Amino acid sequence: MSINLHDWALNHKYISKGWYSIVYEYDNDKIIKFAFNKNNGEPRQYTDDELYQFTTMQKYPNLFVKIYEITKDYVICERLSVESFINDYNFLETTTTNKFKYKIAIKNIIGEYGEMDGKIHYMLEESQIILNFMLKQQKTYKMLVHLLRLVKDIYEKKLFAIDISPSNFGWDKNEKLKMLDV
């Protein structure tokens, strides 16, 4: 089946664009990436190097996005939750700043402990803030471990250089972290 970028763009949801691809929704579980010239906005064909990357990625679906079809004009692959990963990543970057706020909440609870009358509601609120923060931190640190393992596994295969930026990663529908672009 031949798919044309201009025709596809008229009837399908735009998702994003990167250095060499523009991405549209293919169906609920898949996306289609078209070779794209970012300088002039025109379609192009993938280079041999880019096609090599896609075919290599296709061999490792546990590390990279699942790829269903590769052509010189487009690639159809699994849809990952990139926004969710970016949110987790951004939370990790702000954790240091947030720690100060939660240390104050802990000090408030300890400081108020001795004067319990009428303050239990306040202490419960402060405790819930700390609990929510710790739960989010636990998820975020798990994400970091997944990211480091994934990058290590890819690096050890010595397939090609990889671009470790948050927008190149995403969670699959089974919450497995994968790399979607290199």
Integer Cα distance of 52 and 147 in angstroms: 24
Could you give the count of Cα atoms lying within 13 Å of 127 in the half-sphere of its Cβ?
A: 11
Map out the domains of the chain as residue ranges: 5-78, 82-172
Cα R_g (the chain), whole angstroms: 22
In whole angstroms, give the CA distance from residue 165 to residue 128. 33
pLDDT in tens, 100-129: 555 555 555 555 444 545 555 655 666 676
With bands split at pLDDT 50, 70 and 90, how would you rate the model's confidence at 151? confident
Higher pLDDT: 78 or 97? It is 78
- 55 pLDDT exceeds 90? yes
Lowest mean pLDDT among 33-47, 139-153, 164-178: 139-153
Question: By 3-state DSSP, what share of the chain in percent is helix, strand and coil, each rounded to 5?
Answer: 50, 20, 30
- Which residue in 157, 144, 164, 165 sits closest to 62, CA to CA? 157
Strands 67-70 and 74-78: antiparallel
pTM: 0.74
CA–CA separation, 155 vs 139, rounded Å?
Answer: 24
- Determine which of 21-35, 45-59, 156-170 has the lowest per-residue pLDDT on average: 156-170
Looking at CATH, the fold of the domain delimited by 5-78 is given as Phosphorylase Kinase; domain 1 (3.30.200)
Q: Residues in the chain, how many? A: 182
